[in-house]
Amino acid sequence: MAKEKYLVTSALPYANGDLHIGHIAGAYLPADIFVRFQKLLGNDVIYICGTDEHGAPISIKAEQENVPPRKIVDKYHKRIKSAFDGLDIQFENFSGTDRKVHYKLSQNFFSDLNKNGFIQTHTNEQLYCENCNRFLPDRYVEGECPFCHSEGARGDQCDSCGKLIDAIQLTNPLCITCRSTPIIRETTNWFLNLPKFSDKLQKWIESKTEWKDNVKKFILNWLKSGLKERAITRDLNWGIPVPTENTDGKVLYVWFEAPIGYISSTIEWSEKIGKPEKWRDYWFDKNTKLIHFIGKDNIPFHTIIWPAMLMGQDKKYILPDDVPANEYLNLEKNKISTSKNYAVWINEYLEEFSEIPLRYYLAANAPENKDTDFVWKEFQEKYNTDLANTFGNFVNRVLKFSDKHFEHTIPLPQKISNKNEEILTNISDIREKIKQLYQTFKVRKACKMIIDLARFGNQYFDNTIPWKTIKTDRKSTAEMMFICGEIIRNLAIVIYPIIPSSSKKLWKMLGFDKSILKYGWNGLSAKSDKPIIIQNIETLFEKIPDDLIERQVNKLKNLNNIPQKTSGKKIISFETFQKLDLRIAKIIAAEKVKKADKLLKLQISIGSITKQIIAGIAKNYSPKELIGKNILILNNLEPAIIKGEKSEAMLLAVVDGENLSLLIPEKEIPEGSKVL
């Protein structure tokens, strides 16, 4: 059988912070499991990754800590790598994007796209700090939010109201490094012309019938709503210089160069193993299956932008074969939040646990089709019952029993009964199913089937009561031990991708002379042809005690700032209701808002005060018919700017589908009257 060839990548982790369980569950563990599975099958597979090391957040952090960016990057590269090592996630190469190979290749990518007419420049206005002598990227600016007017809004987003902001909209902007007021200045940047790839992308994606539903639907929607040009350069010092003229102080945007890291890391690997041309066997061979493991936030980059970048090259790079994006992992019902330190950090985890329970729990509870929840108590129970009790105890009771009664072996039987033959066939069917599950990224189900197999082992053991038959019928007891041994041999291999270290430990107890990888999945298809010589029997899985789990739960509880996941409408107190200033107001003027077909600009009077309101009712009411009407408003809603117009209160109306009706008092009542 011809070997299949796989090039597997996981999203490059950003080198300004540590890894937490969400990262692992989404992109790294599923990839590691897939890669290990392919290695068991004997296929040609390499797993490539590295840290993403450029961009504004890193350079800001560097300035804040008064160190060169390189220092930040080195620190986190190291910490991230050690987290992966601790979790037994093994790459063929783990590189970084601030290396020479990567610079050269990224610049080539830009040049090819430019030469082939896929890049053009646009000029727009940006904030410029005269004191620091540079354009300020979004996150280098803070100021007053133009929507909610809270202080300290960043140039890209306001943390207080969550709105996305264009930095030049900020009121009273300040440069975060020198606290001086920036000016507005024009700048030119380079844009990738995505619309040119639209048709090609559409066809390509439609051909991907086997892709996960959620991924495909998401992209087709994106394409349907039309692609836009995207800036691929930034005014920043920390990054890869733009390889063309008049580009001082401009670098390639991180999202543009980061995925190129998949290639440059492969090149680095080739050089390391002394075969500098080897990377071409993967990236230019259309038989290679390129698989990108990512979180769902990364779908557009890996299915639209990155393939477009590859299509626009002179060299014929392969395109992604599959992009099995995962959903998110929540933590104890809440969203993981790095900024609020609400997370389980891998490095911290590894101080108290081995990698085994986490790998198992995240595999069994992987967010494959929908968001899932990490619950410490569940983590403990899942591990203790599935692995320690069901799996571990089965192995232990079989090995101890056979060790004692059959001279430290699991013997070969002289003949096998029909019933037992049937069981062996059954086992091989299950193994085949598990194989299919791994191949199609369904690790949750694979976990379940594996534990089911261990459970079947226990049932078989109990039903055949060897502790009794050994006294009367040694032959048939030997035969049933053999069956149990076959189950264990299968278990050791099929669990390998998920918890390799336990699998190897078990393999050692079974005393096979070939390593588990050499023996491989195919070694399973043959029946054992010599007795298993049982080695030292060790406890395969130590149970996790309650107090250890309680400590973890308390760690999270002690945070004062737990992010809320639920945004739904809750019961509110009367006190809260009283905060609303609901009043009757008279419309004294009305006109359409320019460049908006649903919005009306209304002048209203509330007693002696007049205010302006922007209301989305133009489809249902004409300006004329509104004048003179008494309507209900929420008077003390925070002001906002809509389509450049100020809105100082909110008009209340009821809707039913297309139907919209103003709320008008049933009797004559003076304007300014309050709702009670």
* Residue numbers 126-155 binding RNA by CB under 7 A: 147
- Interaction between residue 205 and RNA (CB under 7 A): no
Of 9-17, 95-103, 347-355, 540-548, the window that binds RNA (rule: CB under 7 A) is: 540-548
DSSP of 281-349? HHHT-TTEEEEEE-BGGGHHIIIIIHHHHHHTSSS-PPPPSB---B--EEETTB--BTTTTBS-BHHHH
Query: Could you say which of 613, 631, 632, 662 contacts RNA (CB under 7 A)?
Result: 613
Give least dist CB 135 to RNA, A.
24
Among 389, 469, 603, 605, binds RNA (CB under 7 A): 389
340 is a contact residue toward RNA (CB under 7 A)? no
**Which stretch in 133-141, 255-263, 347-355, 612-620 sits in contact with RNA by CB under 7 A?**
612-620
Cα–Cα distance for residue pair 15/579, rounded to 1 Å: 45
- For the bound state, the minimum distance from the C-beta of residue 456 to RNA, rounded and expressed in Å, comes to 8
Residues 408-467 within binding reach of RNA (CB under 7 A)? 452, 455, 458-459, 461-463, 465-467
Amino acid letter for position 597: D
Q: List, in order, residues 6 or more apart from 478 with CB less than 8 Å away.
A: 406, 411, 413, 414
Encode 374-383: b = buried (16+ Cβ within 10 Å), e = exposed: bbbeebbebb
Would you say 349 and 84 are in contact if contact means Cβ atoms under 8 Å apart? no
**Looking at beta carbons only, is 43 or 612 nearer to RNA?**
612
Residue 69 Cβ, how far from RNA at the closest point, in Å? Answer: 28
Torsion of CA 207, 213, 219, 220, to 10 degrees: 60
Q: Which amino acid is at 628?
A: G
Strand (E) or helix (H) holding 530: none
Footprint of RNA on 556-585 (CB under 7 A): 565-569
Range 637-656, binding RNA (CB under 7 A) = 637, 640, 642-643, 647, 649-651, 655
Query: For residues 211-240, which are near RNA according to CB under 7 A?
Result: 213-214, 217-218, 221
Choose which of 73, 311, 614, 631 interacts with RNA (CB under 7 A): 614
Residue whose CB is less far from RNA, 260 or 662: 662
Q: Select the residue interacting with RNA from 166, 199, 352, 371 (CB under 7 A).
A: 371
* Burial of 251 per CB tally in 10 Å (0-12, 13-18, 19+): buried
Indicate which single residue of 294, 356, 540, 662 sits in contact with RNA (rule: CB under 7 A): 540
Min dist CB 260 to RNA, Å, is 24
**Residue-wise DSSP of 436-466:** HHHHTT-HHHHHHHHHHHHHHHHHHHHHH-H
Number of shown-chain residues binding RNA (CB under 7 A):
71
Q: Least distance in Å: CB of 93 to RNA? A: 32
Give the C-alpha separation, 672 to 586, whole Å.
Answer: 8
- Among positions 112, 321, 373, 581, the unique one binding RNA when judged by CB under 7 A: 373
Contacts of RNA in 173-192 (CB under 7 A): none
- Residues 159 and 66: their CA atoms lie apart, in Å, by 25
Cβ distance to RNA smaller for residue 200 or 228: 228
Please, what is the Cα angle at 252 between 246 and 255, to 5 degrees?
Answer: 160
- The minimum distance between CB 575 and RNA, in angstroms, equals 21
Cβ atoms within 10 Å of 650's Cβ, excluding its own: 18
One of 116, 171, 385, 522 touching RNA (CB under 7 A): 385
Q: Which stretch binds RNA (CB under 7 A): 27-35, 77-85, 370-378, 418-426?
A: 370-378
In the complex with RNA, which residue's Cβ is closer, 74 or 542? Answer: 542
Residue among 214 and 673 whose Cβ is closer to RNA = 214
Exactly one of 118, 279, 379, 401 binds RNA (CB under 7 A); which one?
Answer: 401
In Å, the largest CA–CA distance within the chain is: 104
The two tokens of residue 184 are 């507005």
237, 598, 625, 665: residue in contact with RNA (rule CB under 7 A): 598
Q: How far apart are CA 665 and CA 671, in angstroms?
A: 10
Inter-residue contact 663 to 632 (CB < 8 Å):
yes
Structure tokens given for 57: 């957040």
The answer to whether residue 372 forms part of the interface with RNA (CB under 7 A) is yes
**Residue 252: how many CB atoms within 10 A of its CB?**
26
Which of residues 5, 99, 230, 397 is near RNA by CB under 7 A? 397
Q: Does 510 bind RNA (CB under 7 A)?
A: no
274: left (phi over 0), alpha (psi -120 to 50) or beta: left
The contact mask relative to RNA for 276-315 (x = CB under 7 A, - = no) is --------------------x-------------------
For the CB of residue 164, give the shortest distance to RNA in the complex, in Å. 7
